[in-house]
Amino acid sequence: LIAGAGIAEARGPERAASAESSPRRLEHAIATLRTAQRELRARPREQIVAALADVVETWLAPDSSWFERAAAALPDATGFSPAMVRHALPAMLVPLRAPALGDLLDAEAKSQRGPGLILHILPGNLPGLAAVPAALSLAIGSAALLKAGRGDRVFPALFAASVAERDAALGACLAACYWRGGDRPCEDVALSAADLVVASGDDATIADLTARSRRRLIGHGHRMSFAVVAREVLSDGTVERQAAQRLAEDVAIWDQRGCLSPQVCIVEGDVDAARAFGAAVARALGELAERLTPARLTSAERLDVRRFRDTAEWRALGGERAALFALDAAGAGTVVVEPEPRVLPTPLCRSLRVLPLADLAELGALLAPVRAWLEGAGLAAPPARRPALARRLEDCGVHRVCELGEMQRPPLTWRQGGRPRLADWLDG
């Protein structure tokens, strides 16, 4: 268990991060957080926001030692390539730069305060995801217990330590910890202490945690995102290539593990148009793999990608109008063109399904079966069509519509899962 101040310094948060919490140490940390939070309530919000902005700038500075420590530890801890960590980690902190945090507070919190202690059960998919919930909690005067996901035990501890370095009293309101999912004794201690739980996980996990929480729980379940390419984009070779490159970037960032990573691309046109665009995306993924080396895949991921590729190849050999564009390495990229209008997720690891749709007016029918799981949509369309398409996508249940190439850079105001970022956390 790593508290923002004190314990972390002794061995370095990177090493301490791999240690698992025990119920007794959790209880101790929670007591410390509660004491520190009482002092936090008395501090002016502007002072807290300014300190957090400093922390974020410290991380984003060109010679940041915090960033270097994260960049050194994360590849081994997460399986992401060093190049990917250096490329993608800053984008996890940029949304917190001034004046975004102050603006969000003005818009959603006004003078309201948060609960005493918020437990954040973080997803383990992307490094750096802890920064926003940690900063938002402190900004509304709440202490935060960050329960790291298995995929990234390094960043939450480092971020907590960096806050403590800038402002010890603020850092004392932040603690990072880790226990294995399903560790009942630890979960029971944390759930019974928290005044609010914000949890990511699958539906069963969320339901289980909700039933066991003493107070409120806000759950974020699994989600998927997709891209939409209008027919006009395909009629100009240069524009089409650019769109393919932007989509490839959206797919490749964090090797597609985020809920804003597109898994499906809907191309306005026929199968041939989808095929041509799919080939362009595969080329772009190939170029990108040179620069952003793919993550280390687990054997299960490699087998899933193999099955995804085999299915497409044998559908084509069996006479269906499917196509496969696969790069040599399993994790470098797989583009599958499927003739039927059906939105299905992929095995991730930079895998994309490309579907033709004769007319984007039919988006509603195509997306209806997966409405509950939709999160973001990246759009490549001429400016004149964008507003109407964005409205249609929002009507289909999409929570964030943006330009292709911007999918992985959500602003702080992103309403994840259709919820306000902060308003739900505040005390009634």
Partner 1 sequence: VSPLYDRVLRFIDDAGADRFEALALAVFAHQFTHCRPYREYCLSRSQTPETVADWQAIPPVPIVAFKHADLCCGTPAQVFLSSGTSAGVEHRSRHQIPDLRLYRHSALAGLRQFLFPDAPRMRLVSLIHRVDDLPDSSLAQMVDWAMEAFGTECSSYVIGPQGIDFAAVTRALRESERDGEPVCVLTTTGALVCAIDHYRAEGSVFRLPHGSRLMDTGGDKGAPRHLSRNGLLHAVWNALAIPGYFCVNEYGMAELSSQYYDSVIADRVHGRHRSRRKLGAHWVRTLVLDPDALVPVQPGGCGLLCHFDLANAGSAMAVLSEDVGEQADDGFQLVGRAAGAELRGCSLSAVSPSDARTTAGIAD
Shortest separation between residue 99's beta carbon and partner 1, angstroms: 27
Of residues 234 through 263, those in contact with partner 1 by CB under 8 A are 256-259, 261, 263
Site string for partner 1, 79-118 (x = CB under 8 A): ----------------------------------------
Based on the shown chain and the rule CB under 8 A, indicate whether residue 347 belongs to the binding site for partner 1: yes
Using rule CB under 8 A, residue 224 touches partner 1: yes
- Smallest CA-to-CA distance from 244 within 345, 380, 366 is with 380
Residues in binding contact with partner 1, number by CB under 8 A: 48
* 179 close to 20: Cβ distance less than 8 angstroms: yes
Structure tokens at 356: 């033709």
**Locus of tokens 């702080």:** 412
CA-CA distance, 8 to 74, in Å (whole number)?
17
Query: Could you say which residues in the range 185-214 bind partner 1, by CB under 8 A?
Result: 200, 202-204
Smallest gap from Cβ 141 to partner 1, in A, equals 27
Region from 140-148, 164-172, 306-314, 418-426 binding partner 1, contact rule CB under 8 A: 306-314
Phi-psi region of 49 (alpha: psi -120 to 50; beta: other; left: phi over 0): alpha
∠ at Cα 28 (22, 29), nearest 5°? 90
Is position 20 an interface residue for partner 1 (rule: CB under 8 A)?
Answer: no
Specify the stretch interacting with partner 1 by CB under 8 A; choose among 47-55, 67-75, 96-104, 341-349. 341-349
| 319: contact with partner 1 by CB under 8 A | yes
CB-based contacts of 377, cutoff 8 Å, min separation 6 = 225, 226, 227, 228, 393, 398, 400, 401, 402
Site pattern 31..70 for partner 1 (x: CB under 8 A): ----------------------------------------
Output 84 or 230, the one with its CB closest to partner 1: 84
Q: How far is the CB of 66 from partner 1 (least distance, A)?
A: 23
Q: How far is the CB of 65 from partner 1 (least distance, A)?
A: 28
Position among 72, 314, 358, 418 found at the interface with partner 1 (CB under 8 A): 314
Cβ proximity to partner 1, 265 vs 381, nearer residue: 265
The three-point CA angle 395-94-228 to 5° equals 30
Assess 315 for contact with partner 1 (CB under 8 A): yes
Residue from 308, 380, 399, 405 touching partner 1 (CB under 8 A): that is 308
* C-alpha triplet 182, 14, 20: angle, nearest 5°: 25
Q: Are 144 and 29 in contact (CB under 8 A)?
A: no
- Is 318 an interacting residue with respect to partner 1 (CB under 8 A)? yes
In angstroms, rounded to a whole number, what is the distance separating the alpha carbons of residues 50 and 131? 15
Q: Which letter does DSSP use for residue 316 in this model? A: H
CB count, 10 Å around CB of 333?
29
Q: How far is the CB of 153 from partner 1 (least distance, A)?
A: 14
Strand order through the sheet with 323-326: 262-268, 351-357, 334-337, 323-326
298 contacts partner 1 (rule: CB under 8 A): yes
Asked whether position 424 contacts partner 1 by CB under 8 A, the answer is no
DSSP string, 271-310: HHHHHHHHHHHHHHHHHHHHHSPPPPPPHHHHHHHHHHHH
378 binds partner 1 (CB under 8 A): no
Quick one: which of 10, 31, 168, 344 contacts partner 1 (CB under 8 A)? 344
How does 170-200 read in b/e, with b if 16+ C-beta sit within 10 Å? bbbbbbbbbbeeebeebbebbbebbbbbbbb
Residue number with CB closer to partner 1 (270 or 313): 313
* Amino acid sitting at position 264: V
Interface with partner 1 by CB under 8 A: which residues?
123-126, 149, 151, 200, 202-204, 220-224, 256-259, 261, 263, 296, 298-304, 306-308, 310-311, 313-315, 317-320, 330, 344-348, 373
